[in-house]
Amino acid sequence: MKRLASVLLLFLFPAMAACQADPASRSWNQPVEPFRIAGNLYYVGASDIASYLVATPEGHILLDGGFVETVPLIRESVKKLGFRIEDVKILLNTHAHYDHAGGLAGLKKLTGAKLHASAADAPALARGGKDDPLFGDQFLFPPVKPDRLVKDGDTVTLGGSTLTAHLTPGHTAGCTTWTMKAGGLNAVIVCSTSVLPMMKLGAEPSYPGIAEDYARTFRTLRALPCDLFLAAHGSFYNLKEKSERLKKGEGANPFVDPDGYRSYLDRNEKTFRERLETDRNVSTSPKIP
């Protein structure tokens, strides 16, 4: 029966992808050619919704599942690179939003892989996004239960490759940035530091301690050694431009971008501080160091 369910999913996914109604989601979820970033780290995501494959001799690690509709794109990208989706043994997640966790349940069914995710985001994953502190029940996805809850500093190892979890909350309570060595380079895959318009940082915060979490996250990210700057959204690190340059073989690997990483953090922390100051003008929220 499990095999039959997986086969049925293979036929249903393309139809589901065609039915994606939200224009913004469709624009983020366009197919792109997969490629090797460095070492055994590959890009297998969509035009803006990122997914990463870490290929090893003992099976593979897949980071983020995109939308429900991204699953067939990921599956096809893995195949184009010469790998098998069935060889994915571990699934990882940056955060429990529909555009990064929506495909995880389907990928678990296709692969039988074990899902590792943060304890703070696990309830949201298990609820399928229901009662989200920002979106309510607006952006639901198939519920998925993590097989392992990771804490700050925990590692995931397979076939000689190790990824380390860094809790960087704020965007969600369990937002997780992952780091690894790829081709001898320090890769940082940022969860997100975006402050969304509906977020509340002062009185009646989106969740208790969100402002303190954001401030701590920026300190954490600034302390990480970064050569390869990657993230949950391709637009955070100019995915389209850099992938085109990589394909043309123009000079050094364009994804080696520590300056871009620092600039990204500078821009987003400035936005956070400005929003926090605005909230302070209408609330009595504590001062963040």
Report angle CA 226, 228, 229 to the nearest 5 degrees: 80
Report pLDDT digits (tens) over 102-143: 999 999 999 999 999 999 999 999 999 999 998 999 999 999
C-alpha to C-alpha distance for 221 and 168, rounded to whole angstroms: 8
Least confident of 9-13, 44-48, 202-206: 9-13
Residue 64: closest CA among 224, 202, 172, 190: 190
Domain ranges in the chain are 2-280
Helix (H, G, I), strand (E, B), or coil: what is residue 174? coil
Mean pLDDT taken over the chain: 91
Query: Do residues 63 and 205 touch, judged by C-beta distance below 8 A?
Result: no
Tell which wins on pLDDT, 17 or 170: 170
C-alpha to C-alpha distance for 225 and 230, rounded to whole angstroms: 13
Work out the pLDDT band at 3, boundaries 50, 70, 90.
very low
Query: Do residues 98 and 105 touch, judged by C-beta distance below 8 A?
Result: no
* Residue 44 to residues 52, 68, 154, 161, 235, Cα–Cα distance (Å): 6, 15, 24, 18, 15
Q: Cα 102 vs. chain centroid, distance in angstroms?
A: 11
Per-residue confidence (pLDDT) for residue 2, from 0 to 100: 37
Tell which wins on pLDDT, 251 or 6: 251
Q: What is the mean pLDDT of residues 217-240?
A: 98
| pLDDT surpassing 70 at residue 287 | no
Q: State the pTM of this model.
A: 0.90
Tokens of 101: 């966790």
Q: Architecture of 2-280 per CATH?
A: 4-Layer Sandwich (3.60)
